[in-house]
Amino acid sequence: MGVLQLPWVHKGGGKVRVTFKDVLNRAYTTLFTDYKLDNLIKMDEQAFYTFLGGFLVNATDLFDGALTDLSYHSEVIKDENGNDNIEYVFDADLSSKEVYILCLGVALGWYKKALDDVTQFKLHLSSKSFKAYSEQANISKRLERLGAMEEELSEAITAYQLNNFDKLPFFGGA
């Protein structure tokens, strides 16, 4: 039995060519799940990656202080049926830590969108007082989780920068 090769895992902490699909797969398999997205990928894989790709574009903007250029370009790739597919690829090679921070940004964006989902504001219970309490408790807990996710992203970026202190422009780096 062969060893499972994951595109975002590499020896020695080096950098590798990373596609949007690599980042989105890592984010979706390790940081969050959503039954609607499970259904979407089964029905239309391209729509799944297009939807989550928007969160990844936003995550590149959230990644303040990235030491690697996070610009990207599209490439046309032929699938097994000879059809053209567009794949987005980061211009620079990324480290596993940089990919992880982007994944945190994707998860944060997805969570914010889910939190703002209007259908979630509709109550489905019958007792009026229980409804109000349940809604208030639910939103309070969800906002706590959102705050924790934002803090985790900020801490990951800070740790990333501290681990690469010598590369920061202010301290003589690039």
For residue range 22-54, list pLDDT tens digits in order: 999 999 999 988 999 999 999 999 999 999 999
Torsion of Cα atoms, 122 then 124 then 128 then 131, to 10°:
-70
CB–CB of 50/37 below 8 Å? no
**Is the per-residue pLDDT at 141 higher than 90?**
no
Residue that the structure tokens 């996070």 belong to? 70
Residue 91 near residue 69, CB atoms below 8 Å: yes
Exposed e or buried b for every residue in 87-120, given b needs 16+ CB within 10 A?
A: ebebeeebbbbbbbbbbbbbbbbbbeeeeeeeee
Q: What is the pLDDT of residues 7-29, one digit of tens each?
A: 545 445 567 789 999 999 999 99
pTM tops 0.85, yes or no: no
Average pLDDT over residues 140-169: 87
**DSSP state, residue 16:** B
User: What confidence category does residue 172 fall into, taking pLDDT thresholds of 50, 70 and 90?
Assistant: low
E strand residue ranges, the chain: 72-78, 84-90
The answer to whether 64 and 171 have CB atoms below 8 angstroms apart is no
Between 110 and 2, residue with greater pLDDT:
110
